[in-house]
């Protein structure tokens, strides 16, 4: 019963957004409130797609999300393997420093990162929107814990068979760690798709904007077009809901099997 109540509580905002997206302007501000629209206004969604440069926003969001996800997976897998299986000088010190950076709020780094990238002349470029997010200490820590749970005997047996570290990583470690890798990928896809603050700061050209920023376009001098705003929100949210529903089992398996070891 508690789970049912919790699920209803979590789903209520999404249901409200979808129902509002189907209302007419009069129903949005009706008193008493209209919960279910009398005549669904499906054309509200068409108005969103008619927005100037909307296809460009979709393209930017897809490209940035895919590039960031691939970049983070590559850096995370290599770093997690190094910290879990390889021995090198300063390994523990470096890992401790990296873990310490997790304590720094991301907002503190916005201005220094903006100044750095502006000096590199990366403002309004895909490089500024992608490269800074191609690694994550949290993901490295998470995957390292998963790698530590894989028996070391497999690594020693592979070395006896003259298997290189890279081949061992590709053929044994990655297949065994698929739940954790899927978890990292799914969470990064959702975070990158929904990112608002960083793209807003790093771009001032409409051609480089992403989907979350498009929501501000439904504000006019006479007020906010809430029905169109909710239609746009539904369009933006729906792909991530579908991704999460289809792949949620990987998140559960990845978290449950990662452990907290080492």
For the stretch 229-253, pLDDT in tens is 888 889 898 888 888 788 777 666 6
Average pLDDT over residues 12-22: 89
Average pLDDT over residues 2-26: 86
Q: Would 22 be classed as within a structural domain?
A: no
CATH of the domain at 246: 1.10.3720.10
Phi, psi of 203 (to 5 degrees): -130, 145
Any bridge partners for residue 219, and if so which?
224
- Integer-rounded Cα radius of gyration of the chain: 23
Q: Would 10 be classed as within a structural domain?
A: no
pLDDT band (50, 70, 90) for residue 255: low
Q: Would 66 be classed as within a structural domain?
A: yes
Q: Helices marked H in 195-225 — which ranges?
A: 197-202, 211-214
Highest mean pLDDT among 22-31, 101-110, 139-148: 139-148
Per-residue model confidence (pLDDT) at position 122: 93
Q: Would 181 be classed as within a structural domain?
A: yes
Q: Would 44 be classed as within a structural domain?
A: no
Number of folded domains in the chain? 1
Per-residue model confidence (pLDDT) at position 32: 83
- 184 is in which domain, residue-wise? 52-214+236-258
How many angstroms separate the CA atoms of 128 and 25, rounded?
Answer: 39
- Residue 11, pLDDT > 50, answer yes
How many angstroms separate the CA atoms of 100 and 105, rounded?
Answer: 11
Q: Would 6 be classed as within a structural domain?
A: no
Q: Would 23 be classed as within a structural domain?
A: no
Q: Would 37 be classed as within a structural domain?
A: no
- Residue 260, pLDDT > 50, answer no
- Residue 64, pLDDT > 90, answer yes
Average pLDDT over residues 91-117: 89
Per-residue model confidence (pLDDT) at position 261: 44
pLDDT band (50, 70, 90) for residue 130: very high
For the stretch 161-175, pLDDT in tens is 888 889 999 998 999
pTM for this model (two decimals): 0.85
């Amino acid at each position: 019963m508690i789970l049912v109540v919790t699920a209803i509580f979590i789903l209520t905002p999404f249901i409200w957004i979808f129902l509002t997206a189907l209302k007419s302007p009069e129903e949005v501000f009706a008193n008493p409130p209209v919960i279910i629209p009398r005549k669904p206004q499906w054309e509200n969604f068409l108005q969103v797609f008619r927005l100037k440069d909307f296809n460009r926003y979709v393209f930017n969001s897809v490209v940035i999300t895919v590039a960031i996800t691939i970049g983070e997976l590559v850096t995370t897998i290599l770093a997690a393997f190094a910290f879990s299986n390889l021995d090198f000088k300063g390994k523990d010190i470096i890992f401790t420093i990296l873990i310490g950076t997790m304590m720094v709020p991301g907002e503190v780094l916005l201005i220094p990162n903006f100044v750095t990238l502006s000096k590199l002349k990366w403002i309004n470029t895909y490089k500024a929107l992608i490269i800074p997010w191609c690694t994550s200490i949290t993901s490295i820590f998470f995957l390292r814990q998963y790698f530590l749970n894989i028996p070391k005997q497999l690594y020693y047996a592979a070395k006896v068979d003259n298997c290189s570290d890279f081949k061992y990583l590709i053929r044994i470690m990655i297949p065994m760690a698929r739940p954790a890798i899927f978890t990292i990928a799914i969470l990064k896809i959702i975070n990158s798709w929904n990112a608002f603050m960083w793209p807003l700061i790093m771009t001032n050209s409409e051609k480089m904007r992403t989907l979350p920023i498009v929501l501000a376009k439904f504000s006019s001098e006479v007020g906010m077009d809430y029905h169109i705003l909710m239609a746009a929100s539904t369009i933006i949210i729906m792909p991530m809901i579908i991704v999460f529903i289809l792949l949620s089992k990987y998140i559960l398996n990845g978290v449950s099997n990662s452990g907290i070891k080492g």
